[in-house]
Amino acid sequence: MEDNILLDAIEKYRYGQMDDQEKVFFEELRKKNPEIDQIAAEHNFFLAELDKMSELKNLKHNLNLVESKLVNEGAISRREGKTKAKVIYLWNRYRRTIAVAACIAVIVSLSTASFVSNYSEKKNVSVITPLVDNKLNQFEHKLNQIEHKLNDASSVITKEKFEANFRATGFLVDANGYIITNAHVVVNAKNLIIENKKGEQFSAKAVYSNPATDLAILKITDTSFKKTSTLPYTFSKTSADLAEPIFTLGYPREEVVYGEGYLSAKSGFSGDTASYQISISVNPGNSGGPVINKNGEVIGIISSKETNADGVVFAIKSKNIYTALKEVKRDKDENIKVSSENSLKGLKRVQQIKKLEDFVYKVKGN
């Protein structure tokens, strides 16, 4: 209990509750007794800390009092009322962030849009390959010239050297020298020539070209061209049947190439109803070749193949040829007559091809 009395005394001394006599006595006691002096010092420090704390507590109490008074008066914005102006505070607080975010959003959306549009265009191009052979080199050309000279020494090729940079296929629709091929074959060509299997070349011009249907009609303008015999094939007006056997002739090489296959779908790339999907082996150069069924009816024109898939080839339906011919008649006043007699029907395939190959031409240009 002595400690109790001692601490009491220290507190009394600190808060001035002692009379003079007691004070003197207490001071004497501290001086004489270092142990008591140490206890007194420690306790005083402790009390000072307590005092500081109580001061602060009281001050905080008063600060809160004043604050809530002013809040009630409206001099200070209310804590719970902050939702009222929340948008403004959020705006003030985050306006820089918002500005940066908006900029980024604009840039990202613009770049995404342009990227997507670019990419999707490219995709279309890459998915479908037009079957035009653009890799004609001079060597091949010269070789052919020589070959033709040797083969047919009597027919002198008097024409000036024509250097083609692409080759595709086309075939007659009218014995008067109208040839049908793909629009993508002629679209960028300055000069066009038609070459038969013997290597005779005739200059030609496009009288019709429709990128939407991918059909083009060329007219042989060369005077040396003579009207051929009647066309052995007709053009089918009706839709062909699934699994129908078909064949084609074309010029993926300098020599005519025969190909056989079947009709695999009644619509083309991405559901395009203007064309068929056929399964046949084709290569660049086959573009514009006729797709013919066993009865010798032209049911379509080879136009493209899917790049990433094997044996997926698209052919424009023959119905479109009639539309094209009508438009030519209307716009250009060129009267093209399609033969109505089919002389291929019932023949063996070899005979059919022998009759046919004189009407299928190379289309070259630069």
Partner 1 sequence: MKIYDQEKALLEGLAANDTTAIETIYRENYAVIQAFIVKNNGYPDDARDIFQEAMIILFEKAKSSSFVLSCQIKTYLYSVCRRLWLKKLQKQNRYNPSIETIQETVAVEDEIETHEKRNEDFTLMENALSKIGEPCKSLLEAFYIQKKSMPEIAASFGYTNADNAKTQKYKCLVRLKKIFFAQYKH
Q: Which residues bind partner 1 (CB under 8 A)?
A: 3-4, 7-8, 42-43, 46-47, 49-60, 62-63, 65-67, 69-70, 75-77, 79, 82, 89, 92-93, 96
Min separation Cβ 63 and partner 1, Å: 5
Residue closest to 186 by CA, chosen among 163, 170, 162: 170
Q: What are the CA-CA distances from residue 353 to residues 131, 169, 271, 283, 296 (Å)?
A: 21, 15, 32, 19, 10
CB 302 within 8 A of CB 131: yes
Min separation Cβ 134 and partner 1, Å: 60
Nearer to partner 1, 85 or 110 (CB): 85
Nearer to partner 1, 17 or 134 (CB): 17
Min separation Cβ 102 and partner 1, Å: 18
Nearer to partner 1, 58 or 126 (CB): 58
Nearer to partner 1, 49 or 272 (CB): 49
Nearer to partner 1, 17 or 351 (CB): 17
Min separation Cβ 126 and partner 1, Å: 48
Nearer to partner 1, 48 or 110 (CB): 48
CB 285 within 8 A of CB 131: yes
Runs of H (alpha helix) within 182-251: 183-186
Q: Residue 243 has which token pair?
A: 């699994």
Nearer to partner 1, 59 or 107 (CB): 59
Min separation Cβ 93 and partner 1, Å: 5
Nearer to partner 1, 51 or 121 (CB): 51
Cβ contacts of 57 within 8 Å, gap of 6 or more: none
Residues in the chain: 366
CB 224 within 8 A of CB 198: no
| Burial class of residue 29 (count of CB atoms within 10 Å of its CB; 0-12, 13-18, 19+) | middle
Q: Which residues pair with 316 in a beta bridge?
A: 275, 301
CB 276 within 8 A of CB 266: yes
Min separation Cβ 110 and partner 1, Å: 29
Min separation Cβ 31 and partner 1, Å: 24
Min separation Cβ 120 and partner 1, Å: 42
Please report how many Cα atoms fall inside a 13 Å half-sphere around the Cα of residue 260, on the Cβ side: 5
Q: How far is 37 from 53, CA to CA, in rounded Å?
A: 24
